[in-house]
A and B are shown apart, each in its own frame.
Chain A
Amino acid sequence: MDMYLPVAGISINLFLVVTVGGLIGFLSGLVGVGGGFLLTPILMMIGVPPTIAAASGACALVGTSSSGTSVHFRLGNVDLRLGGILLLGGLAGAAIGVHVIKLLRALGSADFVITATYVVMLSSIGAFMFVESLQSLRRGMMASKTSSPIQQSALLKRLPFQMNFPRSNVRHSVFVPFALCALVGILAAIMGVGGGFIMVPMMVYLLRMPMHVAVGTDLFQILFTCAGVTLMQAATNQTVDVVLALLVAIGSTVGAQVGARMVRLLRGEQLRIVLASIVLATSIKMTLGLLIKPASLLASVGGN
């Protein structure tokens, strides 16, 4: 059943979009890694223009992260003080990212930059996940998975505006979480990702936060940063397709629930290598898309 998406300006099969969302949600629920970085490129592959895919992906994340945030909040996993600073950084980064997209659209190269950024990011994430999965498989199911702690840089302790974050039981300069999240805000605007796959390891290893507080606080900032990105993209670039985002969010939410339930039956760790392979295959497909001459030269022009 085809449906016309007025903002994207294309007709697309309704079930295909829901299925894409469902599949990504399922994989992320099963493996425990957010699938935001996979959503935008797969939307692009099924014909959604990159700028619309990225902005609508961020919009869909508002929907999918809201229920998770409320659960984390209820369990006390959100460090509001740190989350507030992250949010300010995220929104500042998002504002920069939205204006970068506006500038690139004016130059006519927004789609190319989004695709090229994705190629770099997916290749890096895919390669990292693949190697990590292989190492995990070799380590043994019952072996200790404890990794040696990374030494915290002395530079971080010397930065000004040090502040206590009692919920996370850490003390840091406000610049560190602000700068980290500003970077993620830029990514959210350009790529339509929440950045949990970058932020959570940073918060655990660099900021020394407990795992579940890191995940809860990150989700809190994702919800509001992506809401901010959605508003800014809609107002500045008119690239948010709410219908597309809604369909993806529905599929993704259902898929994530099914994936999380399947974890009881299936070992997600074994399937992480499958997800890594999908990420790598997607990056290869996108690279070929950038390099191979299109069937119609007119199709490669514009994209705004």
Chain B
Amino acid sequence: MTNSFPHPYIPNSIRKIKEEMMGEIGIESIEELYADVPQKFRLRRRLNLPDTQSEHNVRRFVEELLSRNDTCLDMPIFLGAGCWPHYVPAAVETIVQRTEFLTSYTPYQPEISQGLLQALFEYQSMICEITAMDAANSSMYDWASALGEAVRMASRLTHRNVALVPKILHPERLETLRTYSEPAGIRIEPIDYDSETGQLDIENLKEKLSGKTAAVYVENPTYLGFIETQVREISEETRDHGALFVVGVDPTSLGVLEPPGEYGADIVVGEGQPLGIPMNYGGPLLGIFACRDDLRLIRQMPGRVVGMTTTLKEGKTGFCMALQTREQHIRRERATSNICSNETLCSVAAVVYLALLGPKGLKELGETIMSKSHYAVQVLEKIDGVKAPVFKAPHFKEFTVNFGGTGRAVSEVHRGLLEHQVHGGKDISKEFPELGESALYCVTETHSKEDIDSLVSALEKVLGRES
């Protein structure tokens, strides 16, 4: 190691400065500061890690590795299932790169952190507007963990220990929910669906609802992309049994789709990643969490919450963290959750995104997505042996495609597509064996007609259906 020190990130790594500082402390070597670390545990060799690198080398090395990834710029990709390709406006990127936001931490000192606090208050407010709820927190890790926290919260509030969830649910979300629920003694019970429409089986729901039910959970749109149309009925049944109604949302649908607050949701969770956050191979994501204006609910919410207040002297409007007595740093083992660091900067991205779109833009986004996804359904269905979607129900941006009629397995078809520089949807044949050789496809505003047409022509080639 000849050229690595002083290191640009460590201003005091100069011998003269170190000596001055050691002189003040009254030591002769830094080693003395480690004198209380038992010798037997001290590492007597260098860590087995690469050598110090110049910035230029780091950049070349990492960029070369990244260039080995294929992206949706290299080929059309029709994957969704909890992480979706949406356009990220330049203004969003500009704001989240502001170093004042990027390199700050939790606004423990509100007077010097007003900017972030106001942005988070605005984020919470916009989440409330699009979901038609009253109070939101400033973020959870992702949809799945937000759902886990919501069900735990419902159990604390109702003192009951069963949560009913749709059988059609993202398997990773379901697994996360189980992981969060098990230590709290909460049982997760799936509710059947109608095999023709995919809709929740209301009779099965009624059978399962009981005095033990803490929460009923539905998603709109559902994991497989269709709209659950019986939400009002489900909401009423839930309420009649004294359970809480928890609804999961994809926010890009909320310009066109009735918001959960309008059909009786007590808690809303969802995935905020589509709101200006790149896919990044699945993280960071943004867990949405909101509830009704009910003090009982609000006091049980997990996570950071920002509130509007005034200055003590002048009565001027300002913002600070609210209800901190729910949180781990104050309440410790009695906190509503252990969450501390969350996904704040993703919330900042989301608020800028929602501001850019506005009410009309959010509706246009929903309509554009639906136009394109329905066009895809139409042209796919024309292929002999391909069925899309599996369920007779209205759909939003995702839909199932069944290849049963082609005599080919999904995996086989998708391998073929890749050879034609097209990436198919998510193979769900193992998740839902009852749906046969099916896959979940996703089309958003970022897919062009050309992308969709290239999927069709690639499929025709793979299936030997070229005209």
Bound pair: A and B?
Answer: no
